Structures are given as structure tokens and as C-alpha cells.
Chains A and B, each alone.
Chain A
Amino acid sequence: MQDHDRAFLRLDSVSKTYKARASDVVALDRASLTIDRGEFVSLVGPSGCGKSTMLLAIAGLIDITSGAIVIGEREVAGPYTDLGMVFQKPVLLDWRSVEANVMLQSDLRKLDRRQQLERTDHLLGMVGLEAFAKHRPGELSGGMQQRVAICRAIVHNPPLLLMDEPFGALDAFTREQLNLDLQHIWMEGRPTVAFVTHSIEEAVMLSDRVVMMSPRPGRIIDVFPVDFPRPRDEHLRRSTEFSAMVARIRERFDDVGMPGVAMTDQAEVV
């Protein structure tokens, strides 16, 4: 399906089964997917469709039951560290300032401090937080905290960015603003992104391709290319082309028997 040279991340028939007391739960069932270098791909689906599991598996944070995940030339076995991660919660370290939270990458990876500090300030400026560099996370709103988390995930210029419903807990206004912020930051370095969300609008707004998943067992059922030019903005969000694209994906969910699914913004518990 993809041009082989550009392929960066490959999932090859990946399955994940969780052992449960009553019966085993198949979180991910033979999922195969190739993501190109520099591509922004969203994984969309209702709760329990295994999209978070897929992300954790790509990061090597959980073992897979069968199949293989290859990033670049390497097969993932154990935590894969050449990436940045953003979770649904900001997961900031309360005892560090905003700046020091972003600098965690530099501290743990022992990168060049001066150069990283410069980049930290640059990124915080891009998301409008330059005035809050010395503040503690507890003094920031949820949306501001998530911005810090994005800066932390990208400060070391990783080739891969994994985002697990990063805006799921935010209100609609903040969420739309952060979509734009994320696109802005992403276009600067163009890392490969796997982005989990249950909002079809958000997926269409941000992605080059939207991967649609179904629950129990988690399967990939369809993939939609999104060709809107970048940078995408609020005008696009209000355009008929955009609505038509969203509607197409939503209808596909209806077709496979998940009506109304992925339309709610409620937080997902896996």
C-alpha cells in the first residue's frame, strides 16, 4: 500500500491478549499498519478498541502476544526510547518547574544542556507559555499543562511522537486551540506521529491518514487518507469539505454497527 522506502513504522499482524480471571481479553487482533516517515496518523475508535494498547506496544512499554513491530530498521523489544510520548494526563512532575519538566528529557538522556534550554524556551514560546517557564505545574490550567507535556515530548527532536488521547480531558475550546498548536509545532520538525483519539473531527483536522478501529477484539477496519492542505485552520474546520469527510468516516462506523460511537468526548477508561 505504501511506498516501501518511506515506511518508518511497521506493525505486522500484532496481537495482544490480556489474561483475565474469567476469560482472556483480546485487546488487539492481528493489526497490520505501515506509517511513513513524517506522516501524521490518527487511530480512531470507541473505548476498548485497543488503540491505547497499540500505542503502548509501539513504545515497547507492554509486550505483544504475537506479531512484530518494526521502527526504522529495529524490531521493538522492551522500551523504545527514540521517541516522545504524550498521555491523556499531562504527567508533569509537580516538583519541577515548567521549564525543568521540559528539560527532563535533557536531564535523563544527558543531552547538551544549553542547546536544550534554548529549544525549551523556543517551544514554550510557540505555545504561549514563555511567561510560565519558572512556574510549577500546579499553578497552570489543564490546557497549559498539556502544552507543557507536548513540549517535553518533542524538545529532543524525536523522529517519532506517540500521543494517547492527549486532549481527551480538555474542554472543546482549549482542545481546538491545542489542535492548532500541535500542528504548528509538528510542522516545524515533522516527526512521524501516531495519535490516538476518539474524536473524528480532531483526527481529520490533524492527520494525513485516519485509521479506524473496532472494539472487542480490537481490529483495524478501515483507513482514510485526508488530503487537506496544511497549515489547516479554523476555516477548514467550518468548511463543507471537512464536514463531508467527518461524515464519511462516521457513516462507516455506522455501517459496521457502531452507531454514534466516537462522537462523544467522554474520557476513555481502558
Chain B
Amino acid sequence: MKAAALESQAAPKGAGNGRRWAGNRISRFMPPFLATMVILVLWEAAISLFDVPRFILPRPSAAIALMFTDFGYFRPHIWITLQETVFGFVLAVALSVPTAVMIVSVSWLEKAFFPLLVWSQVVPKMALAPLFLIWLGFGISSKILMVLLLAFFPILLNAMIGLKSLEIEKRYLAQSIGASRLQMFWRIQLPAALPVMFAGLKVGVTLALIGAVVGEFVGAAKGLGRLLILANSNLDTALLFAAVGWLSILGVGLYLIIDAMERLSIPWHVSQRPQR
């Protein structure tokens, strides 16, 4: 019809999105990259200018050089911390998403268990870390438990919010089509909840890394957290910053993986559309 033809001009065309997207990537990563460079240069300059001793603050160039020249030294620590984080995070997702589904679909479960879950969140979990050592030993399992504990709640909460905030009209629509409970969940409720769920995964994955480091602080044989403690006690600030550098690369990398998964699974969502 006429009106549709007019409106069609307003709608974006599908072609040419690929190149625009690549351009977006560059313009997205360039500003933070430049900002980081500026900070590093100022830091380097300040140390020369004020003659800061090495045990207070290292030159960023020294820390960065250490990160890569001594990669062989860092590798086993990175590997351990990465394992703890990923195992703990995957475990947290595997436990919290089904829990969210159960809590949302059975109302008495929410009444009974949600206050407990909130309470478990209020308790400072760091305080429990020494206990985990006693239970599970110095290996990675005590750290995985800490990761699980930290990442579980935000993933659960966001999954619950996503599943519960289904528009009433969408529910009505599905009911009027005669959707079964399973159809309602898989075809309507779950896809609609995905954007909010991914927000929880992003918070969860960053907390997971923190959980691994905290776990290692308390007692570990290996890991970047363990390395931090070691560097600190030796006043080796260059090593300390190098470990922090590797931790942030790990954190950003994990975050970007979740981000990429989000792009792939919900390309339809507003947050994924190229900005105009």
C-alpha cells in the first residue's frame, strides 16, 4: 500500500551493515586505547620527573616488559586462575539459570527460598574463604567454590528478572494461541529474557575472576592472586603490576567472550543495533 511504501524509506536497509560494523569496531576501540596510552605515558613521565623509588611504583614500561618477556613464568599462574574462573563461572551458570527458572515458575519456591538467597548474598563471602580451605584444601576446588558463590547471585537475579518481566500482552497472545507451558517457556519467555540474562552473565564473569583471586589470596600454591601476594611481600612492584596486567587481560578477554556470545544469540535486541 501507499503508506507502506512511504514508510519503507525510513527503515534501514540490510545491505552495507557489515562494513559499517567493522568501522564501528575501530571507532569503538580507538578512544579507550588512546586514553590508556595517555595515562601510561603520564605515569612513565611522572616517575622520571619525581624520581619515585621502584618499590613504591614501577615504571609501566618495566611492568609491561616483564609481562611479556617473562611470559613463561606467568603462564602456569594464568592457566590456574583461568581454570578456576571458567569452571566456577560455568558451574554458576549451570546452577543459577535452572534455579531461576524453578523459582519463577513455582511461586512457593520463591517465597521459601528467595529470602535465603538474599541473605546468603549479604553475608560477606570473603569471610568464608578460610573455611573453604579447610573443607577443600589448597587446590583449585576451594577457589572454584568461591567463584561459584560470587557469580551465582547476579546471574540468578538477572535471569529471574528477565523471566518475570514478560509483558502481559505477550503472555495473553501466547495463551490465545493455546501455547502449552513448554511452548510458553521456550518460544516466548526464555528468548524474551535473554537480554537481561546476558547482563547478569557479564556481571557474573567479572565477579568470577575476583572470586578466583580472593580465593588465592587466602591460600594457594599457584595462580595470579598467589603471585600478587608474593610480589607484595617482596616489594616487587613491577611483578605485582605485571600480574595485575595479566589479570585485567583475562578479565577483559572473558567479558568480550560473553559479549560476543550475546551478539550471536540476540542480534535482534536494541542493545546490539548499530548506532546511527
Contact = CB atoms under 8 A, between A and B. Distances in A.
Interface of A: 56, 59, 61, 79-81, 83-85, 87, 89, 91, 93-95, 104-105, 107-109, 127-129, 131-132, 135-136, 138-141, 143-144, 147, 173-174, 177-178, 180-181
B4, B8, B167, B178: most-surrounded residue (chain A CB, <10 A): B4
B29 to A, nearest CB: 25
Contacts, number: 90
B177 A136 contact: no
Contact of B177 (A109, A135, A173, A181): A109
Contacts of A94: 192, 268-269
Given A56-B172, A79-B176, A85-B176, A139 B188 contact: no
Interface of B: 1-5, 7-8, 10-12, 14, 167, 169-170, 172-179, 183, 187-188, 191-192, 194, 266, 268-270, 273
A104 B188 CA distance: 10
Nearest to A149: B173
B191 to A, nearest CB: 5
Nearest to A78: B175
Given A61-B172, A138-B268, A108 B177 contact: yes
A85 B11 contact: no
Given A85-B173, A89-B169, A94-B268, A143 B187 contact: no
B176 A61 contact: yes
Contact of A139 (B12, B175, B187): B12
Given A87-B173, A94-B268, A95-B266, A174 B179 contact: no
Contacts of A140: 7, 11
B8 A85 contact: no
Q: Which 8 A-B pairs have the closest CB atoms?
A: A128-B4, A81-B178, A128-B1, A177-B3, A79-B175, A91-B169, A141-B7, A108-B177
Contacts of A105: 177
8 contacts: A81-B177, A89-B169, A95-B194, A95-B268, A105-B177, A108-B174, A132-B8, A135-B11
Contact of A127 (B4, B176, B177, B188): B4
A91 B175 CA distance: 13
A91 B266 CA distance: 18
Contacts of B3: 128, 143, 173-174, 177-178
